[in-house]
Amino acid sequence: MNILAFESSCDETAAAVVADGRTILSNEIFSQVALHEIYGGVVPEIAARSHLEVISLLADRALEKAGLARADIDAVACTYAPGLIGAVLVGVNFAKSAALALDKPLIPVHHIRGHIAANYLAYPDLEPPFLCLAISGGNTMLVDVRGYTDMRILGQTRDDAAGECFDKSARVMGLGYPGGKPIDDLSKQGDDRAYDLPRPAVNDGNPYDMSFSGLKTAVVNIAHHAQQTDEALDKPGLAASLCRAVSETLVGRTMDAAKALGYRSIAVAGGVAANSRIRADFEAACRKAGRTLYVPPLRLCGDNAAMIGAQGYYEYLAGHIAGPDLNAYATMEI
């Protein structure tokens, strides 16, 4: 079954064709990073305008690279939540109109479910149940993946997402936007014990909930203090200390949950899964605890449409299809 999939929830416009939820036939991405860079973050209106400019072209390319004709498409999937509403709307309205005109089923896909499904593309043998940590610029959550379409949130951030913490920290350190990659690069030259950063604990109730706003504020304060006192800021040291703090929080919570729930398989998903410290720490922790780790390759960690096509296949098998009245939503439970 060939699914044509679209993703437009943030600052990447993407179209892809995926066969049977597991095989990528094409995966086209237009990144808007250059458009938003000068604003130091994603501007929702600019994002929505750009999606509409390029979406037809991406659909053309996805079909062309897959070597298929329109008649070979069996269903159309799209991200319908969560995300920047103006951005999501473009993909939803394009996709549902295309599905209607092609007379094929329309499959709405939850963006985070898509990130989790990126693992199905990378690991043909991976099947639920497993535990998945989904980490991106907008979300940080620990998900109990009981089935392809049966998921429970075990814990999530109470405030900022891990990616947001990296972006804001990069900003005060003058590293530009988006912050994940420059912080990761810089951290490799730094001492991860250079700064004593907090590990914000959430001790009231859910042991798997997280918080990153305190950590972000600590980094901002250190940077501002250095600026005001004219002290030299050890940027590589701060980047390394930050990566260590974020990683210890994420890896610690995830390994605790895997132990408590008895999961042998641990998956990581989302743009922040590209961070090399987090990947290395997960590898070490899983090796030590005798668990199998699944982390998608870098190109499938960030937003893409192939992951939407992968999850779309399983949503279709579960009967989750929509009509031409499908709407987009800024927020939605997984």
Partner 1 sequence: MLTLALESSAKAASAAVFEDEKMLAFSIQNAGLTHSRTLLPMAEGLMKNLDRPLSALDRVAVSRGPGSFTGLRIGMAEAKGLCWALDIPAVGVSTLEAMAWGGPVLDGQMLCCCMDARRGQVYNALFTVEGGRPLRLTEDRAISVSELQSELVARQEPWILLGDGAQLCYNTMDRDEVTLFMAPEPLRLQSARGVGLAAMDKPAVPAGELMPAYLRLSQAERERLARMSE
Residues that bind partner 1 (CB under 8 A): 38-39, 43, 45-46, 48-49, 52-53, 55-57, 59-60, 70, 85-86, 89-103, 323-328
Comparing CB distances to partner 1, the nearer of 95 and 131 is 95
Provide the minimum distance between the beta carbon of 271 and partner 1 in the complex, in angstroms, as a whole number: 22
Provide the minimum distance between the beta carbon of 91 and partner 1 in the complex, in angstroms, as a whole number: 8
Q: In 3-state terms, the chain is what percent helix, strand and coil (to 5)?
A: 45, 20, 35
Comparing CB distances to partner 1, the nearer of 22 and 49 is 49
Provide the minimum distance between the beta carbon of 134 and partner 1 in the complex, in angstroms, as a whole number: 26
The rounded distance, in Å, linking the Cα atoms of 153 and 148 is: 14
Provide the minimum distance between the beta carbon of 66 and partner 1 in the complex, in angstroms, as a whole number: 15
The rounded distance, in Å, linking the Cα atoms of 177 and 141 is: 23
Comparing CB distances to partner 1, the nearer of 147 and 324 is 324
The rounded distance, in Å, linking the Cα atoms of 79 and 111 is: 6
Comparing CA positions, the residue from 55, 198, 188 lying closest to residue 63 is 55
Comparing CB distances to partner 1, the nearer of 91 and 237 is 91
DSSP 270: S
Comparing CA positions, the residue from 141, 112, 115, 116 lying closest to residue 130 is 116
Provide the minimum distance between the beta carbon of 89 and partner 1 in the complex, in angstroms, as a whole number: 6
Provide the minimum distance between the beta carbon of 31 and partner 1 in the complex, in angstroms, as a whole number: 18
What the block records as the tokens of 325 is: 């009245």
Which string of DSSP letters, residue by residue, matches 104-162?
--EEEEEHHHHHHHHHHHH-TT--SSEEEEEE-SS-EEEEEEEETTEEEEEEEBSSS-H
Provide the minimum distance between the beta carbon of 102 and partner 1 in the complex, in angstroms, as a whole number: 5
The rounded distance, in Å, linking the Cα atoms of 105 and 320 is: 10
Comparing CB distances to partner 1, the nearer of 92 and 305 is 92
15 to 18, 26, 307: CA distances (angstroms): 10, 8, 10
Comparing CB distances to partner 1, the nearer of 103 and 333 is 103
Provide the minimum distance between the beta carbon of 38 and partner 1 in the complex, in angstroms, as a whole number: 7
Question: Which residues are CB-neighbours of 57 under 8 A, at least 6 positions away?
Answer: 30
The rounded distance, in Å, linking the Cα atoms of 92 and 97 is: 8
Comparing CB distances to partner 1, the nearer of 1 and 48 is 48
Question: Which residues are CB-neighbours of 260 under 8 A, at least 6 positions away?
Answer: none
Comparing CB distances to partner 1, the nearer of 92 and 145 is 92
